[in-house]
A and B are shown apart, each in its own frame.
Chain A
């Protein structure tokens, strides 16, 4: 077995905030004891609703914030042990694609300058060679090389996201983190970008961490999935296994809320109610206040990830979710047309 490209162990990030001068500072765990390995060329999807800590996880992996506890190890080097020289090398081999392409691009610099900057900063190419590689990269992501002289505000949203992808890949990184990379785009553009990401993965030595709330998108892009709830991974495993037979009620609810085309199996009732409630999670299962299957044990004992074949879930009642998801089960009974 080869060593993993990226290894996260017990990754925890707490944010402290004070409500008043004399108030006791409260802390909230944006990431809570997350551990996983990512092999070279592997693609993992991190899903969860707003506030579940998935973006924090991405920032932790790239060393943009330091964890409260735990370690991240990339190509055998721990983030804590990196010298500034190592960090520069790490930046060259990893990349991030942000959510909002307009914000991610500098309004005062041309597209060509921004894409080529990585090459120039790392002295990976001479000025002329950088120009050439930038043009080639832009063409690879489906833009014309004539766009190099454009400014971001002169492009459409889809074109901008392609520029951001080109900038992320110009240094030939081994790992790219996509933080809601396609969420801000139109559905039709989304599909094009997803197809682009698939074909880029096929031709390059790339690993993806794909952070999103969109379960339809992630299905077409990743091999493995991790579902997050309030900073914890509550279910993880092979994408097909998790989609076919979710073992955690939260995953089941998420999958049930994916809209379907067939109106007869359309879901009118939201599968879960309420919003994330971070205040009541000191003990027991964080999801219990919204869980339709909660039992007394859930308030006392925090469930840990347990293995079920190709997947692992953190629920006391996982065994009971043995059957595959039947969308019809969650839908109201079909009404006969008069």
Chain B
């Protein structure tokens, strides 16, 4: 019997995901890390209380003074502090929303694949119905009817695009079920639940992770859009979308109020999208 000598070392497998990483994706990762740090430490990092008003220094220009690095707004609030806190809020909503969305979609997709028949038809019909209406209209309707509370808002944005997860999971599970290892597990007598979670899930996780990175920026945009329309985060709480909406009025005389949160939105969504594209290629065996 020959002994196979090649085995992946731990360090090698840790480094493997970063080998041949394009510079653009590296920059994206860097920005995501920065945003992540901001998300955790915003309250300590911000130089001012983000709500502290100072009528004497309204509309201070950015980069002009050391105290208001990114300028101040129409109430003399520090823009940098506001951006930091708003990033935290938006990130929180997007993160919780994405997780909620992934859980709902994956669960329903799994149920559709497992039961098939009318359960499958009902779930997929529902998914089709959801996909056929722009979600922002549904969101507007729900928020107008029930009023905006943070909890409702988080779950609402979590419902956006759940049908994509459901379809993806359903397809992946149905095709994985036909693979030899799933049948082999069945023959051994492994219960269905264990087959799904222990055997199939690690094998289909790649596309789901990629879907997560695609969904994440879309939730940020939805949150920003709804807050911009005044139906999302309510003042005095702040979010990136709300800041853009606020600053829009003063765009002609103080562009920085809307521009900086806008830049954070653009860079964050762009970074996560690019990372998602890259991960999709990495996880696809045919493209590796």
Contact = CB atoms under 8 A, between A and B. Distances in A.
Contact of B184 (A107, A156, A167): A167
A92 B189 contact: yes
Nearest to A153: B8
Which size class do A's interface residues fall under? Answer: 20 to 34
Given A98-B180, A100-B180, A156 B4 contact: yes
A154 B180 CA distance: 18
B183 interface: yes
A109 interface: yes
Q: Rank and list the top 5 A-B pairs by shortest CB-CB distance, nearest first.
A: A91-B189, A103-B180, A108-B202, A104-B180, A106-B181
Contact of B189 (A121, A143, A146, A159): A121
Contacts of B191: 121
Given A64-B186, A108-B202, A154-B7, 10 more contacts: A95-B187, A100-B180, A103-B180, A104-B181, A105-B180, A109-B202, A121-B189, A150-B7, A156-B4, A171-B188
A144 interface: yes
Contacts of A121: 188-191, 194
B203 A117 contact: no
A106 B186 contact: no
Given A150-B4, A150-B7, A117 B187 contact: no
A105 B190 contact: no
Nearest to A103: B180
A118 interface: yes
A153 B217 CA distance: 35
B66 interface: no
B114 interface: no
Q: Is the interface of B mostly helix, strand, loop or mixed?
A: helix
Interface of B: 1-4, 6-8, 179-181, 183-191, 194, 198-199, 202-203
Given A106-B199, A107-B203, A150-B4, A118 B180 contact: no
A91 B188 contact: yes
Nearest to B181: A106
10 contacts: A88-B189, A91-B189, A95-B187, A96-B184, A109-B199, A118-B188, A121-B189, A121-B191, A122-B189, A154-B8
Contacts of B183: 64, 96, 98, 104
A142 interface: yes
A96 B183 CA distance: 10
B188 A117 contact: yes
A114 B11 CA distance: 25
A218 interface: no
Nearest to A59: B183
A318 B2 CA distance: 50
A105 B8 CA distance: 19
Contact of B6 (A96, A109, A154): A154
